[in-house]
Amino acid sequence: MNAIAEISPALIEGKVVLDELVEARGPWSAVVAAGDVLTIVDLDGNQAVDCILYAAHDTGTRYSAAMTIASQGSIFLTTGSVLRSDSGQELMTVVADEVGIHDTIGGACSQESNTLRYGQHTHEQHACVENFLIEGAKWDLGKKDLVSNINWFMNVPVDPDGALGIVDGLSAPGKRVALRAEVDTLVLVSNCPQINNPCNGFNPTPVRMIVTRPEARA
C-alpha cells in the first residue's frame, strides 16, 4: 500500500478520511460527506468501475445517466460533469480527471445480459449487477434501486450511424478521477468482473478509493 500511495495519492489535497482497496471483481460502498472528494485510482489501468450514486439521506434520489447527459449535452463524463439525479438534484461533480472520457450509457453487466452479448456459456460468470445487489442490500437497497450507472475508466464511443460499443480503454496504470460530493452521497460500486470485452483489459484488477476532506473543512 505504501508504494501505491506514493504513486497515486488523492487527486485533491486534504485530510484523508478513507483509503480502501477494492479487490478485483468485488463490490464497495461508502457515504462521501458533502464537500469531501472521492478519488478513484485505476491501479493497473483500464479497470471499469461501475458506480451508482444515491443521496445518502433519501436513496430515492439516485443517479440518472439520462438527466446527466441531457443537462451537460454530452454522453461523456469528465472534469466539470455534474452527476445528477432524475429529479435534477446535483449529487457529485467531477473535479479532476486524468483520463478525459468516462462512460455513462453502457449500463452494468449482468449474468443475464452476458447471455445476449457473449452467449449462454457466460451466464455463470460473476457480474456487476450481483455486486450492486449484494452491496446495496447493506443499505436496504434492492433490485428496484438499480437503474442507470456510471462506468469510470470505460470507453463507449457512438459512431455516426449509431453503432456503439465498449472499446479499448483510454486509462492507464495509476490514472485517477476525483468526485466532489455536493450532498452526502452514498457511492455504490462494482469493480467490474467482466472478462468478455475490453472494459477491464480482459483482466479485472483492484482499484483504490481515497476520500479527502479539503483542509478548509478539516
Which residues form the interface with another protein (CB under 8 A)? 60, 64-67, 69-70, 73-76, 86-88, 101, 105-108, 110-117, 119-120, 129, 143-149, 156-166
Shortest Å, Cβ 77 to another protein: 9
Of residues 131 and 148, the one with the C-beta less far from another protein: 148
Q: Report d(CA 79, CA 72) in Å as an integer.
A: 12
Residue 89 CB, nearest distance to another protein (Å)? 8
Provide the minimum distance between the beta carbon of 148 and another protein in the complex, in angstroms, as a whole number. 5
Q: Smallest gap, in angstroms, from Cβ of residue 40 to another protein?
A: 20
C-alpha distance across the termini of the chain, in Å: 24
For residues 152 and 170, what is the distance between their CA atoms, to the nearest angstrom?
A: 11
163: its cell numbers: 453503432
Can you tell me the distance from the alpha carbon of 29 to that of 22, in angstroms, rounded to the nearest whole number? 10
Nearer to another protein, 43 or 183 (CB): 183
**Least distance between another protein and beta carbon 84 (Å):** 10
Cell of 133: 445487489
Q: Which is nearer to another protein, 163 or 216 (CB)?
A: 163
d(CA 24, CA 16): 23
Name residues whose C-beta falls within 8 Å of residue 144's C-beta, 6 or more positions apart in sequence: none
Whichever of 28 and 54 has its CB closer to another protein, that residue is 54
Give residue 149's Cα distance to chain centre. 7
> CB-based contacts of 119: which residues, under 8 Å, 6+ apart?
none
CB of 129 or CB of 178, closer to another protein: 129
Q: Are 166 and 199 in contact (CB under 8 A)?
A: yes
Q: Least CB distance from residue 112 to another protein, whole Å?
A: 3
Nearer to another protein by C-beta: 64 or 185?
64
